[in-house]
Amino acid sequence: MKLPDPKELCQRLADAMRPQVAGDTVLVGIHTGGVWVAECLHGLLGLATPVGSVDTGYHRDDHRLGGSLKAGGRPSHLPFDVEGAHVVIVDDVLYTGRTIRAAMNELFDYGRPARVDLAVLVDRGGRELPVAASWCPHAMKLPASQVLVLEKDSDGTLSFSLSEK
């Protein structure tokens, strides 16, 4: 199976977002892949406010299934006021919707945004919660046994890999 090119998807995502993103819009990437995508979008969209990041560990609901109740060691960093802001949560792959739910819970711990949108590179299907991306340049179907992972090599190049659970 040919996997999509993250650089191309970031460009398509930025192009789709541009008409609805103002200079005061803030991007919040979900650790780790979502932060990489948010950084790419930040440059392509020419936004002034630095990219924020959230770690969803404290808000995960899958601890009984092997998930973590504690943060993954990367504290959330929001270098702006969330209250009243237009926030775009950014992630690499949308699957069940549970990570997005956890990210919104973390975000609301910092304040009440005026609006929250979601931007992802790939929607792989398999939703368990009613979560949909505002912007998504690529959709694909994968069996539950496969994981699509965004990786970053030493020179900063992003690529997707596919592995078995």
Distance in angstroms (rounded) separating the CA atoms of residues 110 and 81: 8
Please give the residue range of the domain that contains residue 85: 6-164
**Using an 8 Å Cβ cutoff, are 148 and 4 in contact?**
no
Count of domains forming the chain: 1
Q: Determine the pLDDT at residue 73.
A: 66
Q: Determine the pLDDT at residue 6.
A: 98
Structural domain contains residue 1 = no
Q: Determine the pLDDT at residue 69.
A: 46
Q: Determine the pLDDT at residue 67.
A: 47
- Whether 127 has a pLDDT exceeding 70, the answer reads yes
Share of the chain above pLDDT 90, in %: 85
Q: Determine the pLDDT at residue 141.
A: 96
Average pLDDT over residues 60-73: 55
**Using an 8 Å Cβ cutoff, are 135 and 152 in contact?**
no
Structural domain contains residue 132 = yes
CATH code for position 41:
3.40.50.2020
- Whether 82 has a pLDDT exceeding 50, the answer reads yes
Q: Determine the pLDDT at residue 1.
A: 84
Q: What's the pLDDT tens digit per position in 21-65?
A: 998 899 999 999 999 999 999 999 999 999 999 999 878 776 554
Distance in angstroms (rounded) separating the CA atoms of residues 69 and 78: 21
- Whether 71 has a pLDDT exceeding 60, the answer reads no
Structural domain contains residue 149 = yes
Q: What's the pLDDT tens digit per position in 109-122?
A: 999 999 999 999 99
Averaged pLDDT of the chain = 92
- Quickly count: other Cβ atoms within 10 Å of residue 165's Cβ: 7
Q: Determine the pLDDT at residue 74.
A: 82
Structural domain contains residue 133 = yes
